[in-house]
Amino acid sequence: MEYQIVFLDIDGTLINEEKIIPPDTLEAIQELQRNKIEVVLATGRAHYYFDELAKQCGIDSYVSCNGAYVVYQGTTIYDRPIPTKTLDQLQQIAAQHDHPILFQGSTAGFSTHKQHPYLDWTFQQLKLDSPDHNADFAHSENIYQALLFTPDAHEALLPHANYVTRHVDDGGISHGLRHIGLMK
């Protein structure tokens, strides 16, 4: 059996700088689907940050949270949460430096801070609402990705964890702002 599949990133691939799907991109996706080619989103984002985009495209399969949470045709087929002990350690480190963390579970994402310039700036750039605050969210459901917003490198403090570091043009908030994505 031969499978035909296309994986699409979101930022800069599916959506443009204005964070919308250009008509020609939508048309190309529909052409792929008409030709029985599976279209799957593959992104670092959690699904609740791209559900509307996926609906617009008629896509119901995705690899999200940098591979930690995978859905195929609407059904979860893989999930690998971060151990609570690791999340607790990360939260302690972040609290020492007053850096926010965005915990992303399967149903929602919540920040450890009610408001923080690093979070606000990042979500403004993505044209998304800033996450709600719930400092205890890491203990209420499985967490698939934890984003630490910091100008500092904290990777050495949790050497057993896997990190994805994104250096961000921070618009003057802090030189070298990073999103450190912690994954299992």
Domain boundary among 79, 96, 117: 79
Domain boundary among 64, 79, 94: 79
Number of domains in the chain: 2
User: Are residues 172 and 107 part of one domain?
Assistant: yes
Complete DSSP assignment for 69-121: EEEETTEEEEE-PPPHHHHHHHHHHHHHHT--EEEEESS-EEESSS--HHHHH
pTM of the model: 0.80
Distances in Å between the Cα of 73 and the Cα atoms of 58, 127, 166 are: 10, 27, 30
* pLDDT tens-place string over residues 24-57: 999 999 999 999 999 999 998 899 999 999 999 9
What percent of the chain clears pLDDT 90, i.e. is strictly above it?
42
Distances in Å between the Cα of 176 and the Cα atoms of 91, 125, 160, 180 are: 21, 16, 24, 12
Least Cα distance to 122 among 147, 95, 97 occurs for 147
Identify whether the C-beta of residue 112 lies closer than 8 Å to the C-beta of residue 105. Answer: no
What φ, ψ does residue 183 adopt, rounded to 5°? Answer: -130, 160
User: Are residues 175 and 110 part of one domain?
Assistant: yes
3 state SS of 39? strand
Give Rg (Cα) of the chain.
17
Contacts with 163 (C-beta within 8 Å, 6 or more apart), sequence order: 155, 180, 181, 182, 183
More confident residue, 42 or 11: 42
Query: pLDDT grade, residue 157 (50/70/90)?
Result: low
Domain hosting 121: range is 84-183
Least Cα distance to 94 among 159, 137, 147 occurs for 147
What percent of the chain clears pLDDT 70, i.e. is strictly above it?
81
Domain boundary among 49, 79, 109: 79
User: Are residues 112 and 136 part of one domain?
Assistant: yes
